[in-house]
Chain A
Amino acid sequence: MMSNKFRTKFLQIFLFLTVSLGFAAKASEDVEHTENKFDISTMIFHHIGDAHEWHFATIGHTDLSINLPVILYSADRGLEIFSFSNLKTPHGSHDMVQYAGYTTDHHGKIVSTDANREMFAFMPPAHGHANPGAIKVYNVSITKNIASLFLSVAILFLVFFSVASGYKKRKGSAPSGIQSFFEPIIVFIRDEIAVPNIGKKSEKFLPYLLTVFFFIWFNNLLGLVPGGANLTGNIAVTFSLAVFTLIITNFSANKDYWMHILWTPGIPMWLRPIMLPVELVGILSKPFSLMVRLFANITAGHVIILSLLGLTFIFESVVVGFASTLFSTVMSLLELFVAILQAYVFTLLSAMYFGQAVAEHEHHDDHH
């Protein structure tokens, strides 16, 4: 028993020193939580999901975490703002705390205690009691993901205002400092992504492409920071980004683009009505692939790293601990690459869709 505890402590220290510091803290916390059995899937889903507190580590029985603000809106009560500490289950307790008619479920989600009031969700709970007359409560709390989102925005502003000021200060001369780090990336997005795929009208789309690239990249990297949130691996985020691309594509599309979809040229006449639904599905399937690709790649990366680290606590062996730490470190390095790769892929594909929407086709000459 003593040696087991010693071994666990040793592993904790060892893991603490690796790149995967945050993940390890998370895993060890879950070990202590459940006490009897380590549940890897709970640990992983807890990590990649969202929360109302930003948890960094648990030392002994003290949680090192920040309670985030809860913001609720309902038609009957208006705006309700309070700290999550009011709803937080005390450490070691299993009793759900109630506050102002709200409590938390076993996932840590806020639910209403009043049967006539219901939390709004896009997908109602599978075994929930449908109450069509219930007043909807909209949960717009600053969760861990949203706090991380704000943090990334602060970093984006800090970085790119500083880069932009470089161009004002050193007009026409060579870049320096942070400006010279980001300039090749900006030029790459302009000259290798926007211009070749969109052509003459690329300038119009460049601000969006640059924003999307750096937004995804910075948030991917923030997700890899120990204790970081899994923002770009969240379907709501990738969904919204994909919707932006969808909207921009279809609102900037010219006549040729719609002609191509509605009455595909270059194919036999009888095939054209059959092609129409296929092309219409294509409008949605393209951004859908963007959404799923980013979500799956980032979430999968996190799941792999967490699974590798989780092996240590399943086998409770030093050898496995050593090997899994090594593997997860290698995976973390790979994830650093995936972080920029996925940002690049999203930006490139968005640029390609914009390019298709604004391309000037010469149908009569191209197709026979």
Chain B
Amino acid sequence: MELVTPDFGLLFWQVLTFLTVLLVLSKFAWKPIISGLKEREESIETALSEAKKAREEMASLTADNQKLILEARKERDKMLDEAQKMSATLIHEAKEKANQESNRMIEAARAEIQISKEAAIAELKNYLASTSLNIAEKVIKRNLSTDASQQQLVAELLSNTSNN
């Protein structure tokens, strides 16, 4: 019976002590522990959600980048195309111009040749005339008796001429 009868002294101290423990631990242990735990859990929660947000932002940034790259590529293609077109026209124009120039130059050369030829012919004509006149003059001057001597003279003169 003694075993199941609460002892007054022990009950007294137990109630007093347990209440003290409850109050002291609640104030100086459980309160900081529970608030510390909660604080840490909240900070982990925010860190996780922030990481998730950052990841999402990253993903959207990557998508944007992709779009930019695509646009840039398109732009580049367009520019290349234009450049090619432009260069083609330039080359074409240059060719055209060169053709025209060469044609013009050929024409000019041709005209000059013609002029030179005509001048040469005129000069030759003049020379021939003067040479002929010289010969005729010498022939006349010598008074040639024979045909042979005349022919010799002509040959002589001619060779002189050709030698000149």
* Interface residue ranges, A against B (CB under 8 Å): 45, 48-50, 71, 107, 120-123, 126, 138-143, 145-146, 149-150, 153, 156-157, 160-161, 163-164, 167-168, 171-173, 183, 186-187, 190, 203, 206-208, 210-211, 215, 234-237, 239-241, 244, 295, 299
Whether the Cβ atoms of A45 and B5 lie closer than 8 Å is: no
Per-position binary interface string of chain B over residues 19-62, scored 1 when its CB falls under 8 Å from any chain A CB and 0 otherwise: 01110111011111111110110010000000000000000000
- Identify which of B7-15, B81-89, B111-119, B139-147 touches chain A: B7-15
Q: Assess whether A207 is in contact with B25, with CB atoms less than 8 Å apart.
A: yes
Q: Name the distance in Å between A155's Cβ and chain B's nearest Cβ.
A: 11
Residue pair A235, B6 in contact (C-beta under 8 Å): yes
Residues in B neighbouring A107, C-beta threshold 8 A: 2
A203 — nearest CB in chain B belongs to which residue?
A: B34
Report the bound CA distance from A353 to B50 in whole Å.
Answer: 40
Q: CB distance A206 to B9 under 8 Å?
A: no
The 26 listed contacts between A and B (C-beta, < 8 Å) are: A50-B7, A71-B9, A121-B8, A138-B8, A139-B8, A140-B8, A143-B7, A146-B9, A149-B13, A149-B14, A160-B33, A164-B33, A164-B36, A167-B32, A167-B33, A167-B36, A171-B36, A183-B37, A186-B33, A210-B30, A211-B21, A234-B10, A235-B4, A236-B10, A239-B6, A244-B18
CA distance A172 to B6 in the complex (A): 46
Cβ of B1 under 8 Å from chain A: yes
> Which of A157, A172, A240 meets B24, CB within 8 Å?
A157
Which residues of B sit under 8 angstroms from A139, Cβ to Cβ?
Answer: 8-9
Given the interface contacts A206-B30, A210-B25, does A187 sit within 8 Å of B37 by beta carbon? Answer: yes
A167-B28 Cα distance, complex, nearest whole Å: 12
Shortest beta-carbon distance, A207 to chain B, in Å?
4
Which residues on the A side are within 8 Å of B99 (C-beta)?
Answer: none
Q: A90 CB to closest chain B CB, in angstroms?
A: 25
A17, B8: Cα distance in complex, Å: 37
Q: Is the CB of A45 within 8 A of B3?
A: yes
The 3 residue pairs across chains A and B that have the minimum distance between CB atoms:
A167-B36, A236-B6, A160-B29
Decide: A156 and B40 in contact? CB cutoff 8 A.
no
Binding site for A on B (CB under 8 A): 1-15, 17-18, 20-22, 24-26, 28-37, 39-40, 43
Query: In the assembly, what is the distance between CA of A235 and CA of B4, in Å?
Result: 6
- Would you call A145 and B29 a contact (CB within 8 A)? no
A50-B10, A164-B33 are known contacts. Are A171 and B39 too (CB-CB below 8 A)?
Answer: yes
Contacts of B28 in A (CB 8 A): 161, 164
When the two chains form their complex, are residues A163 and B33 in contact, meaning their CB atoms are under 8 A apart?
Answer: yes
Whether B32 and A240, one on each chain, are in contact in the complex, defined by CB atoms closer than 8 angstroms, is no
Asked if A240 and B15 sit within 8 Å, CB to CB, the answer is yes
What residues of B have a CB within 8 angstroms of the CB of A299 in the complex? 3
Residues on the A chain within 8 Å of B5, using CB? 121-123, 235
Do residues A190 and B34 form an inter-chain contact, with CB atoms below 8 A? yes
Q: Inside 8 A of B39's CB, which chain A residues have their CB?
A: 171-172
From B11, B31, B35, B37, give the contact of A239 (CB < 8 A). Answer: B11
Q: CB distance B18 to A168 under 8 Å?
A: no
Measured between alpha carbons, how far is A295 from B39 in the docked complex, in Å? 38
Choose from A142, A150, A161, A172 the contact partner of B29 (Cβ within 8 Å).
A161
Contact indicator B22/A211 (Cβ below 8 Å): yes
Instruction: Report chain B residues within 8 Å CB of A210.
Output: 25, 30
A146-B10, A164-B29, A171-B36 given; A49·B3 CB < 8 A = yes
Residues of B within 8 A of A173 (CB): 40
